[in-house]
Amino acid sequence: MNMRTTMNAEKILTLKNIRPTQARRQILELLYREACPLTAGEIIALQKGKAADRVTIYRTLYTLAECGLVHQVQGLDGAWRFCAHPPAKHGCPGNHPHFLCRECGRMICLTKQKLSWVEVPADVEVKGKQLVIYGFCSSCARKKKRGNRKTNN
């Protein structure tokens, strides 16, 4: 992670009136770098020993979601995934569908598509909406095809 990105994460947190702790900066930078929704477990694995404790990671993720710096989506497996896109990037956070690979668990933001408007009763308070399309990513689909060819021969 270069110094410019580090300074941007710190500046972005400060502009949202969030104290830019080391854990918050590291997690936000990681989410920017990976550019796909990640579970807390995946974040811990990617931090390779630099990770804060699990409670701090969850608190940080929910703080970033509450202030609109990340969006969260729940996969079919029940796990919440968090994703951040640089503020200048169009279409995020949220308001788009996601693709979830049933084999490897990787989730991809489909930012070129928007979720449709849903009319709800006037007396309700909407906290979010999501659409998860699932199947097999290109890598897993290729592996499955190769595996099927071997068993058919």
- pLDDT single digits (tens) 76-117: 888 999 998 766 655 445 678 999 999 998 898 888 888 888
**Domain at 67, CATH number:** 1.10.10.10
* pLDDT for the residue numbered 86: 66
Tokens of 17: 């009136």
Containing 29, the helix (H) or strand (E) segment is helix 22-34
Name the pLDDT band for 122 (thresholds 50, 70, 90).
very high
* pLDDT for the residue numbered 2: 43
Domain hosting residue 14, numbered range: 3-152
Q: What is the pTM of this model?
A: 0.73
DSSP string, 57-84: HHHHHHHHHHTTSSEEEE-TTS-EEEE-
User: What is the number of domains present in the chain?
Assistant: 1
How many C-beta atoms lie closer than 10 Å to residue 141's C-beta? 13
